[in-house]
């Protein structure tokens, strides 16, 4: 599998807009399927397929007829964006590279209070490219890139998904 992540598109043969069956045909049988989850205030049902050995999870939302809406990557430092942003990078280096690649400033969410004591968890989102970078660490300034999440492109009004071709 080619491990170059393509923001707004997908990875390798997996593209946003695919059905769960199409993703399974491309990646093989998943390790787990979690049906109809709900996250936070989102009223939408989501089904997620997990490939633990590959470090990939793919989420499908009911409102989009269970088409692929989010891919998360973790546990494999070969996953990369443009060969420049890789899992395991320092927060400082990953954010500087992302700003350079995407040409936009990030929006930060500090989730430290929501997790176990002694760990720092922060995410930074680059909305124009629908990329979120998740960092964790034990000390401020020592956080490393733990997860990369990507999603499809949205119309300017934010109401319509623009599926990759």
| Per-residue model confidence (pLDDT) at position 70 | 97
The 10s digit of each residue's pLDDT in 105-159 is: 888 877 655 555 556 788 999 999 999 999 988 888 789 999 999 999 999 998 9
The 10s digit of each residue's pLDDT in 39-85 is: 555 556 889 999 999 999 999 998 899 999 999 999 999 999 999 99
Residue 89 neighbours by CB under 8 Å, 6+ apart:
97, 144, 145
Categorize the per-residue pLDDT at 165 as very low, low, confident or very high, splitting at 50, 70 and 90.
confident
Mean pLDDT of 3-12: 97
Over the chain, what HEC string results?
CCCEEECECEECCEECCCEHHHHHHHHCCCCEEEEEECCCCCCCCEEEEEECCCCEEEEEEHHHCCEEEEEEEECCCCCEECCCEECCCEHHHHHHHHHHHHCCCCEEEECHHHCCCCCEEEEEEEHHHCEEEEEEECCCCCCEEEEEEECEEECCCCCCEECCC
């Amino acid at each position: 599998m080619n491990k170059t992540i393509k923001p707004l598109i997908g990875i390798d043969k997996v593209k946003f807009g695919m059905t769960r069956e199409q993703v399974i045909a491309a990646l093989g049988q998943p390790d787990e399927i979690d049906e109809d989850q709900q996250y936070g205030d989102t009223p939408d049902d989501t089904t997620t397929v997990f490939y633990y050995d590959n470090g990939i999870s793919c989420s499908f939302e009911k409102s989009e007829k269970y088409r692929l809406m989010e891919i998360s990557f973790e546990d494999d430092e070969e996953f990369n964006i443009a060969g420049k942003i890789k899992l395991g990078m320092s927060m400082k280096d990953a954010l500087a590279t992302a700003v350079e690649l995407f040409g936009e400033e990030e929006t930060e969410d500090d989730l430290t209070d929501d997790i176990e004591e002694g760990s720092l968890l922060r995410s930074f989102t680059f909305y124009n490219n629908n990329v979120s970078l998740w960092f964790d660490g034990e000390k401020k300034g020592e956080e490393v890139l733990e997860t990369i999440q990507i999603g499809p492109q949205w119309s300017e009004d934010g109401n319509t998904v623009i599926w990759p071709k």
